Amino acid sequence: MTARDLVLATVRRSLGVAGTEAPRRAAVAARLADHPTGVVPARGRLAPAARIDLFARMVEGAAGTVECIAEPSAIPQAVAAFLRRHNLALAVRHGDDPRLAALPWERGPLEVRRGASDGNDLAAVSHAFAAVAETGTVVLVSGADNPTTLNFLPDVHIVVVDAADVAGDFESVMARLRERFGPGALPRTVNMITGPSRSADIEQTLILGAHGPRKLHVILAGSH
Amino acid sequence: MTEGTSQTAAAAAPLGIAKAATHSASTQCFKGNAKAALGDRDLQNALKFVEVNFIARRQEVADRLPEFEALRDAARDIKDHTLAYLDLYLEAYERRMTEQGGNVHYAVTAEDARNIILDICRKLGARAVTKGKSMVAEEIGLNDFLDANGIAAVETDLGEYIIQLRHEMPSHIIAPAVHLTKAQIEGDFRRAHSDLPRERNLEEPTSLLAEARSVLREKFLAADVGITGANFLVAETGSSVIVTNEGNGDLTATLPRAHIVLASIEKVVPTLEDLAQLLRVLARSATGQEMSVYTTLTTGPRRAGDLDGPAEYHVVLLDNGRSAMLGGEFRDMLRCIRCGACMNHCPVYHAVGGHAYGWVYPGPMGAVLTPALIGIDQARDLPNASTFCGRCEEVCPVRIPLPKMMRSWREREFERHLSPAAARWGLAFWAFFAKRARLYRFATAVAARLMALAARGRGRFRHLPLASGWTRHRDFAAPQGATFQSQWQARRGAARGNADPPGEQGARP
């Protein structure tokens, strides 16, 4: 008997089942196929304008910063201005995301590198897959477009979010993931990020920038 | 495992719970540990923060979310549902996960899990391993085992890193170093990082964190294998989920050639929607955050076209006695999502800290889970380390009836003659009278009157024979002369005389 068989057999003995019962199998299959929605907070169901406001407020509540840019073409300047405000080198790295690649980086003073990070980048720019207003969370998916290392190795993480991609609640994002990647399928990594890295492990003193970015700056594109 | 513990494994068999391997457990010495903890000034200084911070922060975010109580019900129901179909959800999870290129390994015991992980590391020729915080890894004693086999496993969560430098166990399931002061941590860093300049300033938490960040950054970039735990496994997508604040778990999972997830079997949940429900109660109950900083779903190894991520992805599913727990009265304990709220609100934990409990899981959840995992004979004091104030159950996000389960353990201890002789004789003595109603009334009436007389109007005793354990620290209230039963009867008699209609209804409001 393999370890797998042994564990499953003990589980079944404890539950008093054989594992072959059709109604049990049907119940599990239905739950997985229907993925019923549970309790969704009212704050996750706001109209678009209030939703964007809540999102910005929640990001700030989690020690992130938010900036609204109406025209995406102004994003490179905004990135440069953010770095300058914090006395940081005018250099960023981003992935192959076509929405980022299409921006007029060459017009600004920024030195731009492409690809994954090896740990030597001070600032990275990613494009979010979505965002969640109820908690101020940005959602990023892995791949060449937005490599995961950019989310964690640089000191400063700048995340571009299309205002139209700000969802009220997590359930809306789950639905969009299914739509994009197919039912039951996900990319290697889905990162849900709420504020910059932190630790309170020393005398419960909250300090930002534990192992990941010390700053998380969200650029909301296309909002008014 | 020593001869002694394998004998107790046989003794534990009637419980129907497999005996788990332990590492350096001192669960037998709770009383001694607790006494030492109460006299430890550093510990008492560090513990001050627990009560103040955790409780207030949780309350604040719970108050901000009107749906919080409904979410707790939903979280409980999701876990109950999953446990009732655990075999099928494990199969579904495994199917999706292997379809995405991951490898699943079942481990019946802690020893099996250790060997599986060592095997994966050896096949990769791994020398350096980074670890994200994992209570299951603590449970199986993974670091010492890898170390003994020539593989250096470095903890990367700040708190875990600190206690690894001190060769200690975590004293809290989400704040492993909560028992230490910054001065103690400074001492550890100066000892461990002896290559750094001596005159550097490490007085403040910020400088300690900065030093740990730069030391550990090198470890992240050099690691061959990264090992993390999992807060949840999602059956619908075959994903493992980790929830952290530092980002160390993600660097551990992303940078090395292989990522090993070590998770116990009860971590599985059905769908992404179910995950959303549980996430809404986890961080709020744990740290009082609306959401932890990093919630990461990982599904398999690096995909074609990916520029980063590990080439191999393994999940070790550990049973270690849990499948047997499913069939007994401690099944509800398997709902636990390891938030730590029970210990954050526990007056016993506040007084003695986590190490007094002697093993990996402290506080009320440990008082229930530890006996189930290592045997009640190995942990007989733990279910008694409670005032039954009920705060743990009040705050538990999945509504585990912790006090009831501690009581169940106490009953088992009594039945199996594991409780101290004095306690058993006392209970037997009381039971003799309690089973004989008239004798009980007579004896208690006499005792109450005698004690009232002996107290001579002071209403309390400074010293009481056979009860010195009580009177050494506080007075014992003296009975006022009449027993509860006689007073109750007198009142009922009076009510019958006055009220109409008489009887039971008279007692209703």
| Residue A148 forms contact with B (CB below 8 Å) | yes
Lowest mean pLDDT among B155-169, B362-376, B464-478: B464-478
Tell me what the mean pLDDT of segment B271-284 comes to. 98
State the average pLDDT for chain B: 91
Cβ neighbourhood burial of B438 (10 Å; 0-12, 13-18, 19+) = exposed
C-alpha of A73 from chain center? 22
Q: What is the pLDDT of residue A29?
A: 98
* Residue B63 to residue B75: CA distance in whole angstroms: 18
The pairs formed by A4-7 with CB atoms below 8 angstroms and a separation of 24 or more are A4/B104, A4/B106, A6/B106, A6/B108, A7/B90, A7/B106, A7/B108, A7/B265, A7/B317, A7/B319, A7/B323
> In percent, how much of chain B has pLDDT > 90?
75
- The one-character DSSP state at A110 is -
pLDDT at B19 over 70: no
Q: Which of B36-50, B156-170, B179-193 has the lowest mean pLDDT?
A: B36-50
Q: CB B376: neighbour CB atoms within 10 A?
A: 22
Q: Name the residue ranges covered by the structural domains of chain B.
A: 33-177+221-324, 432-507
Q: Which residue of B has its CA nearest to A2?
A: B106
What number is the average pLDDT over the span B459-484?
Answer: 84
pLDDT higher for B473 or A223?
B473
Q: State the Cα–Cα distance between residues A216 and A65, nearest whole angstrom.
A: 6
Per-residue pLDDT, B382: 95
Minimal-distance CA residue of chain B relative to A33: B236
Q: Do B49 and A204 touch (CB under 8 A)?
A: yes
Please report the residues numbered 264 through 323 in chain B whose beta carbons come closer than 8 angstroms to any beta carbon of chain A: 265, 270-274, 276-277, 279-280, 287, 289-303, 305-309, 317, 319, 323
* Amino acid, res. A11: V
The answer to whether A109 faces chain B, any CB pair under 8 Å, is no
CA distance B481 to chain A (A): 51
Chain B residue with minimum CA distance to A10: B323
Please identify every stretch of chain A with a pLDDT value under 70, giving residue numbers as ranges: 224
Q: Is B214 on the interface with A (CB under 8 A)?
A: no
Which of B53, B81, B90 is nearest residue A204 as measured by Cβ atoms? B53
Assess B70–A contact: CB distance below 8 Å, yes or no.
Answer: yes
Q: Which residue has the higher pLDDT, B420 or B382?
A: B382
Q: What percent of chain B is predicted at pLDDT more than 70?
A: 93
The matching CATH number, chosen from 3.30.565.10, 3.40.50.150, 3.40.50.10420, 3.10.20.30, for B33-177+221-324 is 3.40.50.10420
Q: Which residues of B touch A209 (CB under 8 A)?
A: 209, 213
Q: How far is B269 from chain A (nearest CA, A)?
A: 10
Q: Do B216 and A211 touch (CB under 8 A)?
A: yes
Q: How far is A180 from chain B (nearest CA, A)?
A: 14
Assess whether pLDDT exceeds 50 at residue B3: no
B85 in contact with A, Cβ within 8 Å: yes
Pick from A202-211, B240-249, B340-349, B492-501: least confident:
B492-501
Which residue in chain B is spatially nearest to A177 when comparing CA positions? B272
Q: pLDDT, tens digit, for every residue of B210-262? A: 999 999 999 999 999 999 999 999 999 999 999 999 999 999 999 999 999 99
Give the residues across from B458 on adjacent strands: none
Between CA B22 and CA B110 the distance in angstroms is 8
| Other beta carbons less than 10 A from residue A89's beta carbon | 13
Q: Does A55 touch chain B (CB under 8 A)?
A: no
In sequence order, what are the residues at sequence separation of 6 or more whose Cβ sits closer than 8 angstroms to the Cβ of residue B32?
Answer: none
Of B71, B265, B287, the CB nearest to A39: B71
pLDDT attached to residue B455: 82
**Best CA proximity match to A60, nearest among A220, A185, A180:** A220
Q: What is the pTM of this model?
A: 0.91
Comparing alpha-carbon positions, the chain B residue that sits nearest to A18 is: B87
Q: Give the ipTM of the model, two decimals please.
A: 0.98
Q: Mutation test of the interface with chain B: which of A93, A155, A189, A214, choosing the one with the most B Cβ atoms within 10 A?
A: A189
* Res B289 pLDDT > 60: yes
Q: Are the beta carbons of B177 and A194 closer than 8 angstroms?
A: no
pLDDT at residue number B14: 34
Q: Which two tokens stand for residue B74?
A: 């939903």
Is any Cβ of chain B less than 8 angstroms from the Cβ of A57?
no
Q: Who has greater pLDDT, B232 or B446?
A: B232
Domains and CATH numbers, chain A: 1-34 (no CATH), 46-221 (3.40.50.10420)
Confidence band of B28 (pLDDT split at 50, 70, 90): confident
Confidence check: pLDDT of B466 > 90: no
- Cβ count near B315 (within 10 Å): 24
Sign (positive/negative) of CA torsion B207, B208, B213, B218?
Answer: positive
- Cα separation of A155 and A197, whole Å? 10
Residue B469 tokens, joined:
């354990």
Q: Do A8 and B91 touch (CB under 8 A)?
A: yes
pLDDT (tens digit per residue) in B56-91? 999 999 999 999 999 999 999 999 999 999 999 999
Confidence of residue B48 (pLDDT cuts 50, 70, 90): confident
Tokens 């699943």 sit at which residue?
Answer: B104
